[in-house]
Amino acid sequence: MQNHLSEQEIIRRQYLDELRAMGVDPFPAQAFSVNTHASDLRHRFDTEPDAFKEISLAGRLMSKRNMGKASFAELQDSSGRIQLYINRDQICPGESKELYNTVFKRLCDIGDFIGVRGYGFKTQTGEISVHVQEFFFLAKSLHPLPIVKTDAEGNVHDAFTDPEQRYRKRYVDLIVNPHVKEIFVRRSRLINAMRRYFDERGWLEVETPVLQTIHGGAAARPFHTHHNALDMPLTLRIANELYLKRLIVGGFDGVYEFGKMFRNEGMDRTHNPEFTSMEIYVAYKDYIWMMEMVEDCLEKVITEVHGGTIVAIGNRKIDFKKPYRRLTMYDAIQEYAGIQVEHMDEATLRQYCRSQHIAVEDSMGRGKLIDSIFGEKVEGHLIQPCYITDYPLEMTPLAKKHRSKEGLVERFELYVNGKEIANAYSELNDPIDQKQRFELQLKLAARGDEEAMMMDEDFVHALEYGMPPTSGLGIGIDRLTMLVTGQEAIQEVLLFPQMKPEARHQA
């Protein structure tokens, strides 16, 4: 026998052979027509019993209790679970009882897919159930599910709760932990609600390249690849900003994109190297208008998805009702760190960071040093939605210079629960200034800054044709989903988070 299989797996394969020997195809090709789901029956039977006189359901067998010529079972479909009542003489009206005695009672395992036809009814205990009149085998499960069991002392066994295994085997997680599915249902609703908000205002959803010759639009390390046919290096995009702004140059008044971004950086409870971002650019607007739009959008979207503006994460209650607090970056550092960094030079900032045991590198310029201080001293205090505004020029090479404050740019980030979930600018549309900013980034790269932006001559060339005043915004969909669903780890809101390969032990 195959040594790597467990005893239960070996038995299930034997059942597979027995089914075939009986003429029962364990993986039939024909479609099975479904006209009802478990949730429909549970929620509507009391008020519409006549709608469930001829029903057809399909799903995974999650439990069964055999009692002679009758059995109770539980079927799980995409909407939830429903009880089945199966009587031998109902599904086997003739002399042969093999379909019940052998196929269902003995060879049908927990986890197998079955189809049933029958009618809805209530048991003597008042449980809404399906009285099965026809039974169909749809797919054999060759691997047993980790079904939760509780012993007489109340101890739980076989619960599939280990986070690493849940993330690696999300397909099992979704089967045996039904609450996990709701996270991803809400994620989908969140994206769709945001998309409707934009569409109602006439902004166009577009798609831009994932493979790029020049990575830009953010400060991050890219993933590198190679195009064989063109024999040229490419990177996976770290942002879609520069392509979306090219479309504003081309004449669109508003464009947005939900898309995957890829950043070759660390992984933790709020970072995954592959993540989903929404970016939007609207012509003739600035970052002040964008702040008003964002808080209006989030209040409406979260109310639609969550049923209200207050969401709970752990013991914290976060309220997305507008308006949100606004605080400049310098004022935030002054308030929470007790220092005024506005007039500090690079050497003084580096000395302060080292005195506070804030990790810095020689390649960091003044902007990144200030950002490091902010991240260490301020971010964790920003629990309720708060706009941090007016960033140092060195930190933001794609934003317009501040209209009244020297050395700053018109930028904000939205912080919630101690993490940044949105970033926006009054977009830089002066091509000469933009080229100079890129040249400054090249100097930082020469110092060893691996996150510095590259020179994008084509983007500068596009700006030379003229781009109207524009405001742009990026929102991290994964982090926003964490907030709406009350999760504290990004892996909980990604169906398949990036994982280190699992170690394989030789027998």
pLDDT tens for residues 101-127?
899 999 999 999 999 999 999 999 999
Task: Provide the pLDDT for residue 155.
Answer: 59
Task: Provide the pLDDT for residue 507.
Answer: 36
Percent of the chain with pLDDT over 90: 79
Q: What is the mean pLDDT of residues 166-192?
A: 95
Which residues of the chain form CATH 2.40.50.140? 7-145
pLDDT band at 289 (very low <50, low <70, confident <90, very high): very high
Give tens-digit pLDDT for 306-348: 999 999 998 999 999 999 999 999 999 999 999 999 989 999 9
The mean pLDDT of the chain is 92
Give tens-digit pLDDT for 2-36: 568 999 999 999 999 999 999 999 999 999 999 99
Task: Provide the pLDDT for residue 84.
Answer: 97
Task: Provide the pLDDT for residue 139.
Answer: 97
Give tens-digit pLDDT for 213-270: 988 888 788 999 999 999 999 999 999 999 999 999 999 999 999 999 999 988 888 8
Task: Provide the pLDDT for residue 67.
Answer: 87
Is the pLDDT at 68 greater than 60? The verdict is yes
Which residues of the chain form CATH 3.30.930.10? 178-324+384-493
**446, burial (CB in 10 Å: exposed 0-12, middle 13-18, buried 19+):** exposed
- Strands (E) located in 314-456: 316-319, 325-328, 386-392, 408-416, 419-426
Burial 478-507 (b: 16+ CB within 10 A, else e): bbbbbbbbbbeebbbbbeebeeeeeeeeee
CATH number for domain 7-145, candidates 1.10.760.10, 3.40.50.300, 3.10.290.10, 2.40.50.140: 2.40.50.140
Burial 379-413 (b: 16+ CB within 10 A, else e): beebeebbbbbbbbbbbbbbbbbbeeeeebbbbbb
Task: Provide the pLDDT for residue 362.
Answer: 85
pLDDT band at 418 (very low <50, low <70, confident <90, very high): very high
Q: What is the 3-state secondary structure (H, E, C) of 83-99?
A: EEEEEHHHHCCCCCCHH
Percent of the chain with pLDDT over 70: 96
Half-sphere exposure of 152 toward its Cβ, with a 13 Å CA cutoff? 0
Task: Provide the pLDDT for residue 148.
Answer: 66
Task: Provide the pLDDT for residue 150.
Answer: 59
Q: What are phi and psi of 215, to 5 degrees?
A: -80, 135
Q: What fold characterizes domain 178-324+384-493?
A: BirA Bifunctional Protein; domain 2 (3.30.930)
